[in-house]
């Protein structure tokens, strides 16, 4: 068991009923067939399940959950299995992977919405929206693998939150199989609907602990007519903060991404990712990758150039590269998006996904850096992330000689101190990756008694038998 608890074996009558519910193409039970669904990429956890189910439609999901509810069998929902907190790791019971439910049911161009099934791959939805002349703005490095059901269930963030919001903000309606197997048909494409509690919000960010999301109505946006991408270098995060304010004002809030990158993670990319090189002549400590977009052509580039010129004069930036083509912009983005892959080659690490108010990002770094240097002498700080949203992936690579045992210990011992610093600045210990198995103890630490009471009450009301993704999220 991934969480160390014991689950009863799957009763034979339940196993047969579950297999019959999904038909021959919808289940795996040999170790080899189940292996890809039980693996967790970074090896922090290993899932355990006697049966992997891959339903083809909502009715099959409903049958699965009904049978599991009758027998008290735990269910772990799974999308693309790219989550970074162990939420999709099966801890006994059945694993329900939504990958076969990948139909786009409708694109409504007038309502600017798209109704999609939970198993659609995010990149394919972006392409589908583009084919219809729209933008679906959710974008993150795992977009070629993660599924919209997983994005909704983790309320994923990504690189365009600054302009379009988190996944929650991109949804008008949901279809959900509740923990007793009933189907909630909430696929409304309404932009106004003040009829009591907003039920869909409960299931988003719930990481599969309240029900299984089977479909969603997503908002679509106009494609930007012009996009400008720039990599800038600066002497400090404070100065980059000032630059963010300047650009927002100068462009009329058309900054879509403002990504902070320290030199160290950039060096890791040059060292480990083929076909990458430094686009600047000099070496600097702090960078920001910035994207600005506008609905009209011939506007944003001029505004950006003027504002960056003023930022030079004000000393906020000391170097800049403006992409001259889509290809150059893609190369700059490749540097940012390759960081997680590059860091895998750097040795054992401790990771944090914190957020603070945007204005407090520089202060967080000033306080966290000496703290972690004392906690892990000789560690390399690899900070990068969505500075425009106040969200940093504050990663620490441990010295090469760190033993696996020490690495494991430090991975548990160091984050609480970093989370305390974020907390003291009014921040959060989990900005966009969620809670899963990994951060349940931090929920216990940081949530107030009233918050814990409300969380447990919601869980009890919607999943009284406690079969939906047990051990995750709720402390």
Give the residues lining the site for ligand FAD (CB under 6 A). Answer: 76-84, 87-88, 98, 118, 140-142, 146-147, 149-151, 153-154, 156-158, 207-208, 212-213, 340, 432-433, 436, 469, 472
Nearer to ligand FAD, 80 or 265 (CB): 80
Q: CB of 436 within 8 A of CB of 83?
A: yes
Q: CB of 387 within 8 A of CB of 240?
A: yes
Nearer to ligand FAD, 157 or 181 (CB): 157
Nearer to ligand FAD, 39 or 303 (CB): 39
- Nearest distance in Å: CB 86, ligand FAD: 8
Nearer to ligand FAD, 308 or 342 (CB): 342
- Nearest distance in Å: CB 354, ligand FAD: 13
Distance CA 186, CA 189 (A): 9
Nearer to ligand FAD, 139 or 228 (CB): 139
- Nearest distance in Å: CB 200, ligand FAD: 12
- Nearest distance in Å: CB 116, ligand FAD: 11
Q: Partners of 320 in the beta sheet?
A: 232
| Dihedral angle over CA of 181, 183, 184, 189, nearest 10 | 150
Instruction: Characterize the bridge pairing of strands 286-294 and 255-262.
Output: antiparallel
- Nearest distance in Å: CB 139, ligand FAD: 8
Q: CB of 90 within 8 A of CB of 227?
A: no
Q: CB of 435 within 8 A of CB of 171?
A: no
Nearer to ligand FAD, 151 or 395 (CB): 151
Nearer to ligand FAD, 150 or 181 (CB): 150
Instruction: Characterize the bridge pairing of strands 211-219 and 113-117.
Output: antiparallel
- Nearest distance in Å: CB 408, ligand FAD: 21
Nearer to ligand FAD, 340 or 416 (CB): 340
Distance CA 473, CA 475 (A): 6
- Nearest distance in Å: CB 140, ligand FAD: 4
How far is the CA of 199 from the CAs of 31, 178, 305, in angstroms? 38, 12, 45
**Helices assigned H by DSSP within 12-160:** 12-22, 31-38, 58-71, 122-131, 148-154
Minimal CB distance residue for ligand FAD: 150
Nearer to ligand FAD, 150 or 348 (CB): 150
Report which of 127, 87, 121 is spatially closest to residue 107, judged by C-alpha positions.
127
- Tell me the DSSP string of 138-183: ---TTTTT-BHHHHHHHT---TTHHHH--GGGGEEEEEEEETTS-E
- Nearest distance in Å: CB 18, ligand FAD: 17
Nearer to ligand FAD, 116 or 233 (CB): 116
Taken as a whole, the chain contains a residue count of 475
Distance CA 310, CA 316 (A): 9
- Nearest distance in Å: CB 157, ligand FAD: 4
Q: CB of 382 within 8 A of CB of 346?
A: yes
Q: CB of 200 within 8 A of CB of 175?
A: no
- Nearest distance in Å: CB 356, ligand FAD: 17
Distance CA 232, CA 105 (A): 42
- Nearest distance in Å: CB 309, ligand FAD: 31
The label of the residue with tokens 């309502």 reads 111
Nearer to ligand FAD, 177 or 300 (CB): 177
Neighbours of 395 (CB within 10 A): 25
């Amino acid at each position: 068991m991934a969480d160390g608890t014991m689950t009863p074996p799957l009763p034979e009558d339940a196993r047969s009923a579950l297999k019959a519910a999904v038909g021959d193409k919808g289940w795996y039970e040999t170790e080899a067939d189940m292996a890809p669904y039980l693996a967790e990429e970074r090896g922090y956890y290993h899932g355990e399940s006697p049966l992997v189910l891959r339903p083809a439609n909502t009715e099959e999901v409903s049958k699965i959950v009904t049978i599991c509810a009758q027998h008290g069998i735990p269910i772990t929902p799974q999308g693309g299995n790219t989550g970074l907190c162990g939420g999709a790791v099966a801890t006994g019971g059945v694993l329900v992977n939504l990958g076969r439910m990948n139909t786009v049911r409708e694109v409504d161009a007038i309502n600017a919405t798209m109704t999609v099934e939970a198993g659609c791959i995010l990149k394919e939805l972006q392409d589908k929206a583009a084919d219809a002349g729209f933008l679906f703005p959710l974008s993150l490095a795992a977009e070629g693998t993660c599924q919209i059901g997983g994005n909704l269930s983790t309320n994923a963030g990504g690189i365009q939150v600054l302009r379009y919001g988190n996944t929650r903000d991109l949804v008008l309606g949901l279809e959900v199989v509740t923990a007793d197997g009933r189907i909630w048909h909430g696929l409304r494409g309404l932009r106004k609907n003040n009829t009591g509690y907003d039920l869909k919000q409960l299931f988003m960010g719930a990481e599969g602990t309240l029900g299984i999301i089977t479909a969603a109505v997503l908002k679509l946006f106009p494609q930007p007519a012009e996009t400008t991408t720039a990599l800038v270098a600066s002497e400090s995060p404070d100065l980059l903060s000032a630059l963010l304010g300047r650009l927002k004002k100068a462009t009329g809030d058309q900054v879509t991404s403002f990504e902070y990158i320290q030199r160290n993670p950039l060096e890791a990319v040059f060292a480990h990712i083929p076909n990458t090189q430094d686009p600047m002549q000099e070496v600097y400590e702090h960078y920001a990758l910035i994207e600005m977009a506008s609905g009209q052509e011939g506007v944003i580039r001029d505004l950006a150039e003027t504002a960056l010129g003023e930022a030079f004069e004000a000393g906020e930036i000391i170097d800049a590269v403006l992409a001259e083509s889509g290809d150059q912009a893609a190369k700059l983005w490749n540097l940012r998006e390759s960081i997680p892959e590059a860091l895998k080659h750097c040795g054992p690490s401790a990771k944090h996904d914190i957020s603070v108010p945007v204005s407090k990002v520089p202060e967080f770094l000033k306080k966290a850096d000496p703290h972690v240097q004392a906690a892990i002498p000789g560690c390399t700080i690899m900070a990068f992330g969505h500075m425009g949203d106040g969200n940093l992936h504050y990663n620490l690579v441990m010295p090469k000689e760190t033993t696996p045992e020490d690495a494991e210990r430090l991975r548990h011992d160091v984050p609480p101190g970093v989370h305390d610093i974020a907390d003291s600045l009014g921040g959060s210990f989990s900005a966009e990756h969620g809670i899963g198995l990994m951060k349940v103890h931090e929920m216990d630490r940081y949530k107030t008694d009233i918050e814990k009471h409300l969380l447990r009450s919601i869980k009890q009301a919607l999943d009284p038998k406690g079969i939906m993704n047990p051990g995750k999220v709720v402390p």
